[in-house]
Amino acid sequence: MIFSLVKRNLKLYFRDKTSVFFSLLGVFIIIGLYVIFLGKMMVSYTESVIPENAKFMMTSWIMAGVISVTTVTTCNGAFGIMVEDTALNKLRDFKVSPIKRWQLVLSYIISSMIVGIIMSLLTFVASEVYIYLEGGSIVSFTAFIKIIGMIFLSVFSSSAMVFLIISFIKSQNAFGTASSIIGTLVGFLTGIYIPVGNLPIGVQTVIKIFPLSHSGVLLRQIMMQEAVDLAYVPEEFKLFLGVNFEVNGSILSSFLHIAYLLVSGVLFYILAIIVVSKKRSK
């Protein structure tokens, strides 16, 4: 039952080419900005600190950010089906069928995660191609496995956060607006448009609270390690690029980043489920 609902949701998402495109729009904007404006500037700045492999390193830096943004925007796109079912009154047909509301909601969550994973994996493949074309090399096997793991973790966290936001939305217009805001904001909140170090302290704190920025940190660590040995990169520079986060004077460990993603994900799901079950129509 849930399986066939998931199948339905996936078909509806992938057959709607415009929704697939728009769920990747944020990603296209980042890549466009980087290729056209930011790339050269950042590479030449990096070269002044670390002369070797600066371009490979910075391409990996931006692509790590792109992958973490993709997990949000595509999960969000997939939740569009939930909004559409509510807004277009399609829910009526589910309500008069012998299925439970939790089964329906679970099907939306599972399909959003599947969409997030598929699209992020595709983005990962595309970014490896780009890195290779720009003179870098393809990731090692261990890094590959780690990145896959990070995509799963990041999708879990993003889908939870997006689900909570979407659970308040009732109309397709509102969904469109929310999607564009999420798509734009997420690039800032993960420190991609502008490196974290360039932002005021207050904004830096907001970024550190935003769960997804931690997935960005971890992905950067894994992907940039392929270009340079991060151990020899000055700590200040790593903090500037958001390769490490410093909280209360100490650098956060990978374990803490992962724990933060998991805990915030679980928390968002609990909150969202409370909102959704309160919305039960009578």
Partner 1 sequence: MNKIITVENLYKSYGHTKAVNGIDFYVDEGSLFAFLGPNGAGKTTTINILSTLLTKDDGEVIINGIKIGENEDDIRKSIGIVFQEGVLDPLLSVKENLETRGSFYGLTKDVLAERVEAALLVTGIQNIASRKYGSLSGGQKRRADIARALINAPKILFLDEPTTGLDPQTRKRVWNTIIDLQKEQKMTVFLTTHYMEEADKADYVVIIDNGKIVAKGTPSFLKDNYSKDLLKIKPINSSILEKNLNSRNILFEKKIDIYQVKLENSLESIDIINMNKDNIESFQVLNGTMDDAFINITGKEIRE
Residues near partner 1 (CB under 8 A): 1, 3-5, 7-8, 11-12, 15-16, 89-90, 92-99, 282
Residue (40 or 95) nearer to partner 1, CB: 95
Residue (89 or 248) nearer to partner 1, CB: 89
Q: Write down how long the chain is.
A: 282
Q: At what angle do helices 54-87 and 101-133 cross, to 10 degrees?
A: 160
Residue (78 or 230) nearer to partner 1, CB: 78
Residue (13 or 260) nearer to partner 1, CB: 13
Rounded least distance, CB 12 to partner 1, Å: 5
Rounded least distance, CB 211 to partner 1, Å: 32
Rounded least distance, CB 250 to partner 1, Å: 51
Residue 251: strand pairing partners = 246
d(CA 37, CA 270): 41
Report whether 70 contacts 123 (CB < 8 A): yes
Burial of residue 50, with CB atoms counted within 10 A of its CB: 0-12 exposed, 13-18 middle, 19 or more buried: middle
Residue (87 or 148) nearer to partner 1, CB: 87
Torsion sign, CA atoms 103, 109, 112, 118: negative
Own/partner contacts of 87-92, CB < 8 Å, gap of 24 or more, are 87/170, 87/171, 87/172, 87/175, 88/172
Rounded least distance, CB 155 to partner 1, Å: 24
Q: At residue 103, what is the residue type?
A: Q
Residue (89 or 250) nearer to partner 1, CB: 89
Report whether 275 contacts 167 (CB < 8 A): yes
Report whether 276 contacts 167 (CB < 8 A): yes
Rounded least distance, CB 204 to partner 1, Å: 43
Rounded least distance, CB 77 to partner 1, Å: 14
